[in-house]
Amino acid sequence: DVKVTQSSRYLVKRTGEKVFLECVQDMDHENMFWYRQDPGLGLRLIYFSYDVKMKEKGDIPEGYSVSREKKERFSLILESASTNQTSMYLCASSLTRGENQPQHFGDGTRLSIL
Amino acid sequence: AQSVTQLGSHVSVSEGALVLLRCNYSSSVPPYLFWYVQYPNQGLQLLLKYTTGATLVKGINGFEAEFKKSETSFHLTKPSAHMSDAAEYFCAVSGTGRRALTFGSGTRLQVQP
The answer to whether A42 contacts B9, with C-beta atoms less than 8 Å apart, is no
Q: What are phi and psi of A85, to 5 degrees?
A: -100, 5
The answer to whether B42 contacts A90, with C-beta atoms less than 8 Å apart, is no
Nearest CA in chain A to B5: A42
Q: What is the pLDDT of residue B96?
A: 66
Taking the CA of residue B5 and the nearest CA in chain A, the distance in Å comes to 10
Interface test with A, best of B5, B7, B36, B101 (most A CBs within 10 A): B101
- Show residues of chain A in contact with B89, CB under 8 Å: none
Q: Tens-digit pLDDT profile for chain B (113 aa)?
A: 778 999 999 999 999 999 999 999 987 777 889 999 999 888 999 999 998 888 899 999 999 999 998 899 999 999 999 999 999 999 999 876 667 888 999 999 999 99
The answer to whether A99 contacts B46, with C-beta atoms less than 8 Å apart, is no
Q: What is the pLDDT of residue B2?
A: 79
Q: Is B45 on the interface with A (CB under 8 A)?
A: yes
Taking the CA of residue A15 and the nearest CA in chain B, the distance in Å comes to 25
Spacing of C-alpha A11 from chain mean position: 14
Closest Cβ opposite residue A107 in set B42, B51, B104: B42
A5-41 confidence digits (pLDDT tens)? 999 999 999 999 999 999 999 988 999 999 999 988 8
- Compute the distance between CA of residue B109 and CA of residue B113 in angstroms, rounded to an integer: 13
A114 has pLDDT over 80: yes
Q: Is A51 on the interface with B (CB under 8 A)?
A: no
The answer to whether residues A35 and A89 touch, using CB atoms and an 8 Å cutoff, is: yes
Q: What is the pLDDT of residue A96?
A: 77
Number of CB pairs < 8 Å for A and B?
Answer: 65
HSE-CB of B12 using CA atoms within 13 angstroms: 2
DSSP H helix total and E strand total for chain A: 0, 11
Nearest CA in chain A to B33: A100
pLDDT, mean of residues A48-74:
93
Compute CA distances A54 → A69, A99, B86, whole Å. 9, 18, 38
Give all strands of the β-sheet with A19-25 in edge-to-edge order.
A4-6, A19-25, A73-78, A64-70
The answer to whether B106 contacts A42, with C-beta atoms less than 8 Å apart, is yes
Q: What is the pLDDT of residue B45?
A: 94
Lowest mean pLDDT, pick from A38-47, A67-76, A98-107: A98-107
User: Any residues with CB less than 8 A from the CB of B40 and at least 6 apart, and which?
Assistant: B87
